[in-house]
Structure 1
Amino acid sequence: MNEAYKNLLERRSVRKYNDKKVSHDLIEKIVYAGQCAPSGMNRQIYAFVVVEDEELVNVLSKMNAEVMNSSSDPFYGAKSMIIVFADSNAPTYLYDGALAMGNLMNAANALGVDSCWIHRAKEVFETDFGKELKKKWGLPESYEGIGHCILGYRANTLDKRAERTSKVIYA
């Protein structure tokens, strides 16, 4: 089977991570794959913020948990992440950002790194502290949080993949 196709079929979301950190070199490769994602009219209106500082990961985890009124860790113990932003002035920004997230997760899997898409980036970066971070990172106000791509290595074996239930219609 073609390796790229096999990678797409085997990628899984991981929701429990061990303490091993992902190397910066691997993260750079994953980010580059995100940059290579398709975008409407090749505008490439996304931005990637790499967070390797565990203290900031913990702060963002708490903020994310607050959005959903929870005290649990929505980042499942992951030690690093890539936050995807996209310029909301572009009509295709949500799709472009989603494609970038997909590329990040598929690249991570191909490189032996586990990942999961964590939502609520929009809400986290609409807070005053989130806006301060965006400003610190040089992101314009129009850039909206699309998702947190958490990265790490699984702490346990994965269960069998759930049966695929999406509808397929040939017309």
Structure 2
Amino acid sequence: MPPMITTPSSTARSSPAIPPMNKEVLMNNPFIETMLSRRSVKSFTDALISEEDLNTILTCGQYAPTGTGQQNYRLVAIRDRAVIDEMIAIHNTVSSKPGDPFYGAPTVVVVFETDASATPVQNASCIIDHMLLAAHGLNIGGCWINGVVGIFQTEAGKALQKRLGVSEEYFAVGSAALGESAAPKRTPNERENTIIRIG
């Protein structure tokens, strides 16, 4: 007998958002609750997060899975306002949407990778995800910021990268903006049923 295949409804918006979950696990597992309640924060106060919390977030990033276990990446944690402002200025020279791509966050962690890694983009993506989940677990706002890719592709960005101590064979894959949220917590949007199950 062929395996049973269930696919998302063509009218996913009117179908159940996600399959039923074990409510006991959801209620008693803080990590599951953290994953399901995380939202991107796009408005920050000027308050810096503590060194201890930042170190925790960075360490969680370092424990993310990477292809073949390689650790070639560089995590650059930037809290110097002048450097963040410089990145914003570079962004505004290349972006069709000028403004602050970091939404006023006082801390930005840029993840650099290298082609020496087997899966550089996948590695960095997992690292950013781990950092954002850790931040949310610490009640710290976070947002994935992809605009750093364009920033560090410019000549000014490459010069800044060198000043940050990251050699030229590295390229920016993404970043996490971190800080205290300036807006009320939001409930996550309902997810559509996009799951395909085989068997």
Q: TM-score, normalised by structure 1?
A: 0.92
- Corresponding position: 1:117 with 2:144: yes
Residues 58 and 131, structure 2, Cα contact 8 Å, conserved in 1: yes
After TM superposition, give the deviation of residue 155 of structure 1 in Å. Answer: 0.8
After TM superposition, give the deviation of residue 166 of structure 1 in Å. Answer: 5.4
Residues 67 and 120, structure 1, Cα contact 8 Å, conserved in 2: no
After TM superposition, give the deviation of residue 119 of structure 1 in Å. Answer: 0.5
Query: Is the partner of 2:111 in helix, strand or coil?
Result: strand
Bigger CA drift: 138-147 or 102-111? 138-147
Structure 1 residues 168 and 88 mapped into 2: Cα distance closer, same or farther (>3 Å)? same
Pick the aligned partner of 1:140 from 147, 157, 167: 167
Query: Is the partner of 2:43 in helix, strand or coil?
Result: coil
Tell me the alpha carbon deviations over residues 46-77 of structure 1, each in whole angstroms, 9 at most, x when there is no partner: 11001001121122123234332223221111
2:25 maps to: none
Residues 41 and 142, structure 2, Cα contact 8 Å, conserved in 1: yes
After TM superposition, give the deviation of residue 103 of structure 1 in Å. Answer: 0.7
Bigger CA drift: 132-141 or 116-125? 132-141
After TM superposition, give the deviation of residue 19 of structure 1 in Å. Answer: 2.0
Pick the aligned partner of 1:42 from 69, 90, 113: 69
Identity across aligned pairs (percent)? 29
Amino acid at match of 2:134: A
Query: Is the partner of 1:41 in helix, strand or coil?
Result: helix
Pick the aligned partner of 1:52 from 76, 79, 93: 79
1:6 maps to: 33
Residues 90 and 156, structure 2, Cα contact 8 Å, conserved in 1: no
| Bigger Rg, structure 1 or 2 | 2
Aligned pair count reads 171
Tell me the alpha carbon deviations over residues 104-131 of structure 1, each in whole angstroms, 9 at most, x when there is no partner: 1011111121100110222211111211
- Corresponding position: 1:88 with 2:130: no
Q: TM-score, normalised by structure 2?
A: 0.80
Structure 2, gaps ≥5 residues long: 1-27
- Corresponding position: 1:129 with 2:159: no
Distance in 1, matches of 2:43 and 2:164, equals 29
Residues 45 and 86, structure 1, Cα contact 8 Å, conserved in 2: yes
2:192 maps to: 165
Amino acid at match of 1:94: V
Amino acid at match of 1:6: E
Residues 65 and 74, structure 1, Cα contact 8 Å, conserved in 2: no
Distance in 1, matches of 2:192 and 2:109, equals 29
